[in-house]
């Protein structure tokens, strides 16, 4: 689906990859609805829209609030008349600790935002999207959704749930006007850790040099290009491409390699 003149909703549009998705869509003359729980950061995104500001509408929304999402659909249609696509980008990571030490409160927060927030968006907007001549749902999973990372097991589980949710949805919607894509970003230079209210364990100098993060603007370009090509899977970054292949060929070996490289996340 070409995004020009379409109305696209982006969750987590206040910062990081979400902000760049908003700006990239605007640059292609899409009408954009950006939502975020952080009003200040969402205002910053709006300020960066420049001469495309008239194409952007923002809402302060907590995606874990089902009633708020249902009202959002009504407000979005009132603003633009219709919505042609949603990009479920909002997400957080967990504290860098093992499952055995992770409190249920943290587990529920990660699952509520990453999985249920995405599910609420889909369940609310899908009936409307099915009425459009063409429409698209893009769900952001993660390289962590197919590859275990020590200290991020629940985050990975939430993103694996998004992966299977998206793939199942794709199969259910074959033959309809709604296309579905799942996105697997690798290391992208965003502020997800800060937005999750966490501190990152110190990274060894050798590992820091070895891991090259992708700029959010480049990640956004890859995602929107994939959306416009109606790709089933959109893999973002060379690291994600490599690990996707490695996991297919040798899943245990891939998990072992990541465990060794990322062991600094769980000191001691």
Which residues are the active-site residues?
155
Q: Is the separation of the CB atoms in 116 and 67 below 8 Å?
A: no
Query: What is Dmax (Cα atoms) for the chain?
Result: 56
DSSP category for residue 82: -
Here the tokens at position 132 are 């459009």
Here the tokens at position 210 are 């070895």
Provide φ and ψ at 177, rounded to 5°.
Answer: -85, -5
DSSP category for residue 43: H
Q: Which residues contact 183 (CB under 8 A, 6 or more apart)?
A: 138, 139, 140, 141, 223, 226, 233, 234, 235, 236
The vertex-58 CA angle with 119 and 51, nearest 5°, equals: 130
Q: Is the separation of the CB atoms in 11 and 21 below 8 Å?
A: no
């Amino acid at each position: 689906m070409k995004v020009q003149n379409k109305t696209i909703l982006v969750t987590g549009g206040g910062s990081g990859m979400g902000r760049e998705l908003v700006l990239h869509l605007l640059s292609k003359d899409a009408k954009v609805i950006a939502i975020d729980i952080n009003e200040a950061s969402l205002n910053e995104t709006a300020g960066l829209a420049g001469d495309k500001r008239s194409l952007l509408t923002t809402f302060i929304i907590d995606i874990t609030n089902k009633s708020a999402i249902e009202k959002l659909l009504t407000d979005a249609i009132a603003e633009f008349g219709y919505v042609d696509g949603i990009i479920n980008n909002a997400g957080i990571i967990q504290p860098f600790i093992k499952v055995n030490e992770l409190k249920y409160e943290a587990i529920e927060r990660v699952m509520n935002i990453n999985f249920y927030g995405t599910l609420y968006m889909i369940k609310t907007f899908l009936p409307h999207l099915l009425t459009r001549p063409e429409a698209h749902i893009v769900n952001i999973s993660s390289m962590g959704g197919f590859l275990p990372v020590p200290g991020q097991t629940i985050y990975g589980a939430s993103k694996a749930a998004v992966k299977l949710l998206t793939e199942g949805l794709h199969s259910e919607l074959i033959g309809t006007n709604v296309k579905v894509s799942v996105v697997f970003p690798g290391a992208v230079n965003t502020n997800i850790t800060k937005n999750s209210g966490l501190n990152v364990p110190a990274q060894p100098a050798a590992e820091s040099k070895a891991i090259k993060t992708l700029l959010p603007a480049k990640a956004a370009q890859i995602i929107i290009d994939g959306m416009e090509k109606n790709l089933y899977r959109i893999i973002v970054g060379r690291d994600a491409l490599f690990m996707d292949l490695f996991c297919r060929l040798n899943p245990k070996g891939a998990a072992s390699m990541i465990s060794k490289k990322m062991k600094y996340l769980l000191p001691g």
